[in-house]
Amino acid sequence: MNEGKVYIAGAGPGDIGLITLKTFEKLQIADVILYDNLANKDLLDFCKNDAEKIFVGKEAGKHHVSQTQTIEILKTKAKEGKTVLRLKGGDPLIFGRGSEEASALRKENINFEIIPGISAASGASAYSGIPLTHRNLVTQCIFITAHESPNKKESQIEWEKLANLKNTTIAIYMGAAMLPKITKKFIDLGRNPNEKIAIVQNATLPSQKTFVTTLSDVEKEIINENIQPPIITFITPTIDLIDELKWYERKSLFGKRIVLTRALNQSRSLKEMLREEGATVIQLSTIKIIQSIPNVNLNDIISKPYDWVIFTSENGVKFFFELLFSNGLDSRIFYNKRIATIGSETAKSLYNFGIKADFIPTNYTSIALINEFQKNNWIEGQRFLRIKGDFHFDYVAEKLMEYGGIVQNLEVYKTLQEEVRKEAIDELRNKSADAFIFTSSSTVMNFFSMQGETNAANFLSKSLALAIGPVTASKLKEKGVKNIAIADNHTANGIVKKLKEIFTK
């Protein structure tokens, strides 16, 4: 049996872009991943398909996995010869109990590594505009926890010394419930009750909120604003720099809740673009794409003398080349053929295989493709290889034949209905979305099929429905959806641009 190994790693403060490269590499190879509440669950999208994912945090209404049980799981999985990733929020050795887990592994001679992460305090500092240090204002920084071990006979925090420190940033981890007692202790020990204090909730996430109050008003602020964990609290002169230095909460889509209905394996780039603008992205895939195996001889089809090969989606490109390579063929089959694509993203996908599209319509729609082909007299008498999915009606193929073209269809992928993600539905029921994004007619049809007509209509009655193009928009109209917008440029970039136009008016 192979020797197992445990990586005790920091997932960063929340934003998935703040994970370190080394932890990300281990995430992709781990056989088992143990994660808790403070590790962003979207990181699990990057693990192996067969990785075992074990939640060891605390969730309301669910069984709580104790620290002792967590350590036992780490030991058991490692002894089975598996690569185990213990994924912790922030840095595993800053109030993360990573040292306890490492000590337990060492006692059993289990191989481990500790990978540092961007700490919660560092992330909250950068994303809120509250520097931990400043050349002219702050020369030292101290991290304290509001929740010391209950096994201690007395607190190890030297409160009197802390209260008398000047030119210092005090970063308090956790402690939403304890904060009023802490600030009262500071005031009792001589700190100015009117001194500013900043509470950063959900730091580095699109739901981040920064509250600035005074030591004496902390309890009132927590109650009035319903401040809930996780929080990081700062007592520091640099709070005065927030208005000058804050940037994250000024992003164009900051705080907006956007639902993606496209297939999970197609959503990554769009999801990242939306996150880059500050949006909360809820993945509610309604479709999944799988390869079709044609019931024809591929060599016979490919070898015919086509004038044009037409791709209208990234899926078509991806699955066509997978089929091509699996049959021992490659891009040399295109040497005497012209190639048309719809959209820059489809063209880019094709270019990744070393092929440059000969034609892309000005507007990224099937209608524009046909109109421009007809205008250039490129249809009548021409032979076309149409790379497509399993959709019932194909506007491109129908119009090419109508105008005198000879069309060979090659189906390379199928669109299936995805399984319902209960956690995403629960999240939407708790708090409605600002926008739903639909990238094809099938995402619309499956959304209504999966949710039921009434529930789907109810969700969309409270939100914007953004369609990637007019065909998708018409399907939404058929379903009675009223608040519809269409991306001017029918691409992921066009979707983001349209959202920014709508929500920054």
Q: Which of the residues are catalytic?
A: 36, 58, 174
Question: Are the C-beta atoms of residues 173 and 144 closer than 8 Å to each other?
Answer: yes
Tell me the two tokens of residue 494: 């066009």
Residues 241, 236, 195, CA angle at the centre, nearest 5°? 100
Phi, psi of 491 (to 5 degrees): -140, 175
Region label for 174, one of left (φ > 0), alpha (ψ between -120 and 50) or beta (otherwise): left
Question: Are the C-beta atoms of residues 270 and 260 closer than 8 Å to each other?
Answer: yes
Q: What is the dihedral of CA 389, 392, 394, 398, to 10 degrees?
A: 140
CA distance 43 to 28: 10
Check residue 475 and report its DSSP letter.
H
Burial 315-324 (b: 16+ CB within 10 A, else e): bbbbbbbebb
CA distance 384 to 309: 6
Which amino acid is it at 123? G
Distances 23 to 11, 85, 87, 309 between C-alpha atoms, Å:
7, 9, 9, 43
Which residues contact residue 282 at a Cβ distance below 8 angstroms, ignoring those fewer than 6 apart? 257, 258, 259, 260, 424, 427, 428, 433
